[in-house]
Structure 1
């Protein structure tokens, strides 16, 4: 009994070990701050603003957990939980009773270019959905409403991107998994139940998204299109689970011929292993068709931006709701899971054909050696993902003046928004090692924060693409800032701005009463409009 329990827990333990190895210095005291990954001290319980609710309900979940646990511990538990959930879930999908193949799938799904790049882009909320994806696929294949709800909770906490990568795999699996009674009505009912559960768990972000006046710029298709991050072009990068649009989110050395080549070979082996699972003595796993369909669809979406941007731009111009398709590489999650399960199938050895009887429960020395190599290969292919991607992830703490400004603003009962300057979405602070992060002010205050969500994305040829802001208030504030200096305070106050937070080095804004002056931050309070 104790041995069986240890075998059952082994994939989760492997995931934990891989998480510790990958995060490294990020597990030290402090916050891990990089691009979209912005955790703050004393996070407030706030409602979404007028832009697209990208951080809903993930920020609220963090705030609730931080009410009972230290904020730093919450972040580290979430990051480690991604690795544990991903590894154990991938292992649970491998149709083998042997531990080696299950560990092979676990290692690959918790250590690949897709997960590494999205983590380096700071998209921890998305990775909650990626980590829970195998459990959601399993639940959709087995059936049962409560089982599916429980499996989708990580994605529900992550928000729209996390649910976005879950929907195709869950619906496709529900539509194709074998049923005890293969009746059309039963199939329709299962798919309908899955759709209702997905919709219900999406309401926290779906309702604000539909009610918001947020817009989506079609130029984002070019800005966020998949790019080559190795010598085999865009398609080769995508097949190897890379190809992210941000060159600074790549793992060191992954563009080398050796790393890119081995990842491409590994992808081919894994896909072949997944195809072979269909010919097993027990037949294809119940999720096989659904996962294959979702993986194929995700790869197709990833190819739209670089190879066929025109139709996607037209769709976004017609309805901003198609905007989530512009970051095509994001949709490779199901393809990564397919490769993980396929690699587990390869590690299990030859698949016995129909009539040959079930596979043996334990392999010989050769099979164990193959499984051991399969477990080690993902780490050996991307060794620089270790130790926080060689320092790209690290834990730091906010200077005291950030907490002082936060306390002043949050203690003020008067209404009004806070404007964060300079007028840009991202910051690079010396105390954070110069790492680029989303403006922390956007998450720190218990009132509406106005910040410029317009994005400037560099292109490989040296050019830049401007992706227009989504929040309509941003345009009004920008107009006020471009007005005459003597009119700015009045115009901003008329827009409902009460505070202006100015970072050091930006001396363009004058006016209002100085409430706090530090080495890095200056807080101004504006008067009310007449």
Structure 2
């Protein structure tokens, strides 16, 4: 008997470890399958995804005169680059997107209370728990990180946004626990869950506010008040009551936590004086990338504004139709879970998904675009609403959890009602072995869990080779070292005067933000205007936010076609505070040849570094603003406090309810 009990205990411990590790395994496996070659040596360069060797923290903190978009994501990369090579840092953060996101969605499903159907049902007893307890979380985790939203944002290079997206399930779970936890403990748990959004920056925080804000206002848990009382007794001990936090208290705690993690970019943005161009409303509006129009594309979690970020084969009628069927099944599973299980975060997350879908559609209509343009003119803080497709992220979480609930239903579990939630894994019900009728349901559940991958094969193995790493040429590293060795102050001017280009040395067609803008350990001056092509063959120019860059453009008057000036003048460059000029593309016309007080430091086929004689340079005061440093210290200190308070971290936090080279490149529309 003792041996049997010991064997049962070992089996139970193994099952618990399997449930605990499976979510992370699902996310990591999805990340490896998606990234593939991108995890090898070298740097993946695509649109906004620009990692460079030895990124300087001082460069990130000095930033530009516009909105501090690179803070704190680039600051975190710079800190990690002190101990790891830059390409290893990139692989780490990209893999973290899938591991954290997949684990978060899977744990929201696995931590929810479920019970098996009585004996004789479709899949009964321990078999039901093993299949449903492992397969349903795997389905939710894979669906959350393998969908058109992730694919299109990844192909846009928006890794910081995806990191905030990966943290959404954790924030939803932590926000829901505010209803039953002590205020200090709930606030600490929420801060830990907000770490991915804190790294992601302002877009990630805005997305988190949209997703979890309604959950904070409306957090009605499974089992109602009785379930809440059980959760409080489970944490506080028998007879010790934990005071519940009312909706207004939860809203205040949530807002305080968001403000705390936003300080690194929020404080400097208040004094940046940045302006937002309303032309971006039309440029960044959602577009149709499936046969079902804009609304249908958004329902399928696609519809990104950039046609160059659509994965191969996604918009084909067959795959799009199967994807639509998958979305409808997932939504049906979510409704079933809401009606039967009543998850504590259910009502709030549903409201967030509906609101996000409405925001995504807003820019696709004439009146909606006019409204957004008026709001941005009124206050630049409404600028993030231009990229409407971003806000289907709550719908992506709903669909992922709904698919997990559907798999639970297929494997014979049903959501609890009231006190039924106390039934443990396998419940008190029958232990009949699975019959023929149950096996086909299990097979269908496995197929449903794999269907997100099947209908989006274009994301597999580096998005079909579109995420392949490259190496920086030797002259780029030589120029970086030469600037670092120069002890004279002054900025680096980056030419050609165009933000996005296609470098020849990448070895493949790619559009990327000029890596020279991040390569050097001092302030860089570059053209932050964005040119977006229109379906009719025209283009929309979205003006940049850096006032100093505008002054440079007025002084140099570069050719709009090539982005190069007709001639350089050392006196003009010095008056602009420029110490070095970088030409980061092969050019035929050496417009710097023969210019006095301008010397060539590094010259190669893809990089030329010029130095302005120091007697001409009148550099601006190169200081690191104290607002960024202060905000970063407060945020980091708060996160460290939250981890130390619980002796935990994000990893162990429970999730869910308690129980042409050189030429300007246009971004395709």
Alignment of 1:85-164 (within 5 A): 85-94=100-109, 95=112, 98-143=133-178, 144-164=186-206
Determine if the alignment matches structure 1 residue 500 to structure 2 residue 581: yes
* 1:437-495 per-position Cα deviation (integer Å, ceiling 9, x unaligned): 11111111111111101011011222211111111112110001128967743223212
Counterpart of 2:328?
268
Q: 2:16 aligned to 4, 28, 39, which one?
A: 4
Shift of 1:416: 1.2
Residues 44 and 254 (structure 1 numbering): CA distance in 2 closer, same or farther, change over 3 Å? Answer: same
Q: 1:372 aligned to 446, 450, 454, which one?
A: 446
Counterpart of 2:548?
473
* Higher alpha-carbon deviation: 354-363 or 384-393: 354-363
Counterpart of 1:413?
487
TM-score (norm 1): 0.95
Determine if the alignment matches structure 1 residue 17 to structure 2 residue 99: no
Determine if the alignment matches structure 1 residue 518 to structure 2 residue 604: yes
SS of equivalent residue, structure 2 residue 467: coil
Alignment of 1:426-505 (within 5 A): 426-432=500-506, 433-482=508-557, 488-502=569-583, 503-505=585-587
* 1:157-185 per-position Cα deviation (integer Å, ceiling 9, x unaligned): 11111112111222211111138599997
TM-score (norm 2): 0.76
1:128–1:158 CA contact under 8 A, matched in 2 = yes
1:498–1:525 CA contact under 8 A, matched in 2 = yes
Shift of 1:498: 1.2
Indicate the structure (1 or 2) with the bigger Cα radius of gyration.
Answer: 2
The 2-side partners of 1:209 and 1:410 are apart by 28
SS of equivalent residue, structure 1 residue 20: helix
Residues 352 and 333 (structure 1 numbering): CA distance in 2 closer, same or farther, change over 3 Å? Answer: closer
Determine if the alignment matches structure 1 residue 298 to structure 2 residue 298: no
2:580–2:610 CA contact under 8 A, matched in 1 = yes
Shift of 1:191: 1.1
Structure 2, unaligned runs of 5 or more: 1-12, 115-132, 179-185, 230-241, 427-433, 559-564, 619-669
Residues 507 and 322 (structure 1 numbering): CA distance in 2 closer, same or farther, change over 3 Å? Answer: farther
2:505–2:606 CA contact under 8 A, matched in 1 = no
Q: Please tell me the root mean square deviation across aligned C-alpha atoms, in Å.
A: 2.2
Counterpart of 1:202?
262
The 2-side partners of 1:356 and 1:492 are apart by 75
Shift of 1:3: 2.6
SS of equivalent residue, structure 1 residue 507: coil
Structure 1, unaligned runs of 5 or more: none
Counterpart of 1:422?
496
SS of equivalent residue, structure 1 residue 170: helix
Counterpart of 2:94?
79
SS of equivalent residue, structure 1 residue 32: coil
Determine if the alignment matches structure 1 residue 45 to structure 2 residue 57: yes
1:140–1:174 CA contact under 8 A, matched in 2 = yes
Shift of 1:123: 0.5
Kindly indicate whether structure 1 or structure 2 has the higher relative contact order, using CA contacts under 8 Å at least 6 residues apart: 2
1:422–1:506 CA contact under 8 A, matched in 2 = no
SS of equivalent residue, structure 1 residue 376: helix
